[in-house]
Amino acid sequence: MGQSPTAGLVDLHTHIVPGVDDGAQTPDESLAMARAALADGVRQVVATPHIPFAGMTREEFGQRLESLRQVLAGQGANLEVHLGAEVSLEPDILRWLAAGLAWPIGATRYVLVELPFFVLPPYTEDVIFRLQVEGYKPILAHPERNALLAAKPERLQVLVERGVLVQITTTSILGGFGVQAKSAAQAFLERGWVHVLASDAHSANHRPPLLTEAARAAERIVGADAWRLVSTNPAAILGGSEDVEPARPARRARQ
């Protein structure tokens, strides 16, 4: 069932913690992102630094995250910021997870993973399988921005049928990453393969932490179920629930 657009929204993919990657660089920039998110109706975000690019352990990032929480609280920005990571999908990912050099979302087994933009590595399916065998639940970040998956959607279908969740990015569906990414995002929605819509925010202005406009664009494709992608589903993921269903377009009546 879809969610009301007035409900508190949850952004599962942001680069809001300052000075750790190519997202926010200062606490002031993080505060501006938090205020933009709150103004858009977002009440919870997950901080997902690029791993291994950020070059820190889970404990070190947790300290940075706690410092940000104190800054936000001190400025009256009542945004909940949860621990997460955007982890490069590479053969070493299980070793990174075991060593605390990569980590899931919060206290769950959900891991947000990222592919390269221009290739689909030959080890992709094997690494995802090994993650699942170890009890992890991969969420594939912005597959519409991967050139091969965008050109050959059936390659994404294989992963979805194997239990991989799919997160598309607000900027993609709004056209900010070009025609191919927008078309792919729309196609994935039309096929009922999308579980989460997130901002992948990097600043308050460039790729901001906003969900509403993109959810409305998705609503034109899948109806009210679009709001599941920015509320029910990311909230369920944060809670470790397995009850995460993709948005499915309503069947059109036969002409």
pTM for the full predicted model: 0.95
pLDDT-derived band at 251 (thresholds 50, 70, 90) equals low
Alpha carbon distance 129, 151 (integer Å): 23
Q: Is the pLDDT of residue 41 over 70?
A: yes
Q: Is the pLDDT of residue 75 over 90?
A: yes
The CATH fold assigned to 9-238 is: TIM Barrel (3.20.20)
Q: Is the pLDDT of residue 114 over 90?
A: yes
Q: Is the pLDDT of residue 253 over 70?
A: no
DSSP state of 201: B
Give residue limits of the domains in the chain: 9-238
Mean of the pLDDT values across residues 222-249?
A: 96
Exposed / middle / buried, residue 149 (Cβ in 10 Å: 0-12, 13-18, 19+): buried
Q: Is the pLDDT of residue 134 over 60?
A: yes
Predicted local distance difference test score (pLDDT) of residue 7:
58
Tally Cβ neighbours within 10 Å of residue 198.
Answer: 27
Mean pLDDT of the chain: 94
Predicted local distance difference test score (pLDDT) of residue 4:
45
Asked if 144 and 168 touch (Cβ cutoff 8 Å), the reply is yes
Which residue, 240, 233, 224, is CA-closest to 1? 224
**Residues forming beta bridges with residue 81, ordered by sequence position:** 45
